[in-house]
Amino acid sequence: MQDFYPLSPAYRNLQPLRIPSGWRIAWNGLHTDLRADKGEFGGSTLFHAVNEGMRFSLDVAFAPEFDPAGRFHLVVLYQPWPRTERGRRRRDVPFRFDAAAQEVHSFVTASYADLVAEIETWIARCTVWVREGS
């Protein structure tokens, strides 16, 4: 059974990405054989990754869906730490993105290669970027 996995449609032509530890890939619909100029990308989210420890989220969508004139949209969000009345971090609150999330970067492109480079750049940056002190 293991020998068949590399040939499965879910795995075949999956975009190779350099992702350091700490990231959870919630969704990956990026495939090297899909062409934006032929309108082969669609779905509200093509790629979504979260780093809970650093409190960042990356989301990639293609809009308008399945449109050859569409563009890739990358958004990087940061979720500030919940704070006590004295301004200290609350670590007892479950992690989730809410209305306090801040957009720290957005990028729009028609180029798939530029999108992959931007994803890798921002995953690397958000792996080490400390936005708030204690």
Higher local confidence (pLDDT), 38 or 14: 14
Q: What is the pLDDT of residue 5?
A: 65
Q: Write down the pLDDT at residue 6.
A: 67
From 6, 21, 132, select the one nearest 78 (Cα to Cα). Answer: 132
pLDDT score of 10 more than 80: no
Segment 107-132, tens digit of pLDDT: 999 999 999 999 999 999 999 998 88
The span from the CA of 71 to the CA of 109, in Å, is 5
Cα dihedral 58, 31, 115, 55, rounded to 10, equals: 10
More confident residue, 18 or 6: 18
Note the pTM of the prediction, 2 decimals: 0.86
The arithmetic mean of pLDDT across residues 44-58, rounded, is 93
